[in-house]
Structure 1
Amino acid sequence: MNKERTYKHPFFKTGASARSQCGFTLIEILVTVVILAIGLLGLAGLTLEGMRNNQGAYLRTQASILAYDMADRMRANKERASDYAGFSTDGAATTLPACATDSAGCSPAGQATVDMVEWTRQIQGVGSGTALLPGGVGTMQFDAGTSTFTVTVTWDEVAREGDAGETISGDGSYTVRFLL
């Protein structure tokens, strides 16, 4: 007695109906490949945008470190704080004064010069071969009315577009305001 088992569930077909189902059709495979390709292109776009945002965050962090570094230098040399006002690293000298290597050290005025030259060297990458900020420029201002110092660091960054296609500006600047 040879009994053929039949199941009502469509996955367990036996007999003649099982032989008529041979597998996926070419169209089903092509549709699957197209859907997979679109998904992978979206993932690649997200990865690229994430890398761009990561680079922007890195540059902003470097600018923050440089701005607070100069603020700390000015706090350490309060008696000559006015020497820092109006300074810009754009076109500034990068040669350290002689007192920087003198065993006696620098006078407060000389220390202000050393601070500004070292800050310029950090921003422009002099001596290291690599600038911390591409196209970086640091400026210091003093507002006598409020006794507020302002340290601003700007750099060149790839422009980004917003959700509506507009260009987002102001990403390449970091400002610190403080009182001594």
Structure 2
Amino acid sequence: MKMIKIFENTKTCRGFTLIEILVTMVILAVGLLGLAGLVMDGMRNNQGAYLRTQASILAYDMADRMRANHSRATGGGDYAGFSTVGASTAIPACTTDAAGCTPAEQAIADKAQWTSQLQGVGAGMAVLPGGVGEIAYDAGSNTFTVSVSWQEIEREGDAGEAIADDNKYEMRVSL
């Protein structure tokens, strides 16, 4: 009996469910926009982490090449002051010879191969967009600084400030 009395006033409640649906749709739309923003931030951060990982792999690769060719890296040698900007990617013919390369030729081959990796020569795609590698030598501490930088959309910190040098990886190595 009571259920019949509840539905007796349906004429006065017309359109009320339509307003509820519209309010619900607005709340749902705002929530989905917020979720889409979170997904985009997550994808951007994931891409940034991927690029930092690639940069660290490339920096360690060059450090390992320098350790393997220790005689040319000692005291700065052929590696100090190198930059991949405008560097040659031509690999010396000695790398395919049975006799192998001299330490000086191996240093040239190491730098050319590292430049090729950074610039994506032969791969059709660069590992790092706008990747640049540099090697500096500090004679006072006898250490090399291998740095890799790339182009990336700048991210903001918690307070909205720009994060400086977020697209650069540096490592110091002594041989």
TM-score after normalising by structure 2: 0.90
**Superposition deviation, residue 86 in structure 1:** 0.8
CA distance, structure 2, for counterparts of residue 47 and residue 19 of structure 1: 48
Query: Does structure 1 residue 87 correspond to structure 2 residue 82?
Result: yes
Decide which of 151, 154, 157 is 1:159's aligned counterpart.
Answer: 154
Q: Percent identity?
A: 67
Match of residue 32 from structure 2: 40
**Superposition deviation, residue 18 in structure 1:** 4.0
CA distance, structure 1, for counterparts of residue 171 and residue 43 of structure 2: 27
Query: Does structure 1 residue 56 correspond to structure 2 residue 51?
Result: no
Instruction: Look at both structures and tell me which one has the larger radius of gyration over its CA atoms.
Output: 1
**CA displacement, residues 96-127 of structure 1 (integer Å, 9 cap, x when unaligned):** 11112212211111111110100000000001
TM-score after normalising by structure 1: 0.88
Match of residue 117 from structure 2: 122
Query: Does structure 1 residue 146 correspond to structure 2 residue 141?
Result: yes
Match of residue 5 from structure 2: 16
Structure 1 residues 18 and 115: alpha-carbon distance in aligned structure 2, compared to 1, 3 A threshold: same
**RMSD over aligned Cα, in angstroms?**
1.6
SS of the equivalent of 1:157 reads coil
Output the amino acid matched with 1:175: E
CA distance, structure 2, for counterparts of residue 177 and residue 167 of structure 1: 26
CA distance, structure 1, for counterparts of residue 172 and residue 9 of structure 2: 78
CA distance, structure 1, for counterparts of residue 34 and residue 143 of structure 2: 48
Decide which of 124, 127, 135 is 2:130's aligned counterpart.
Answer: 135
CA distance, structure 2, for counterparts of residue 49 and residue 35 of structure 1: 21
Match of residue 30 from structure 1: 22
Gaps of 5+ in 2: none
CA distance, structure 1, for counterparts of residue 44 and residue 4 of structure 2: 59
CA distance, structure 2, for counterparts of residue 164 and residue 127 of structure 1: 42
Gaps of 5+ in 1: 5-12
Detail structure 1 runs of 4+ shifted over 4 Å in the superposition: 21-24
Q: Where is the helix percentage greater, Structure 1 or Structure 2? A: 2
Output the amino acid matched with 1:162: G
CA distance, structure 1, for counterparts of residue 168 and residue 160 of structure 2: 21
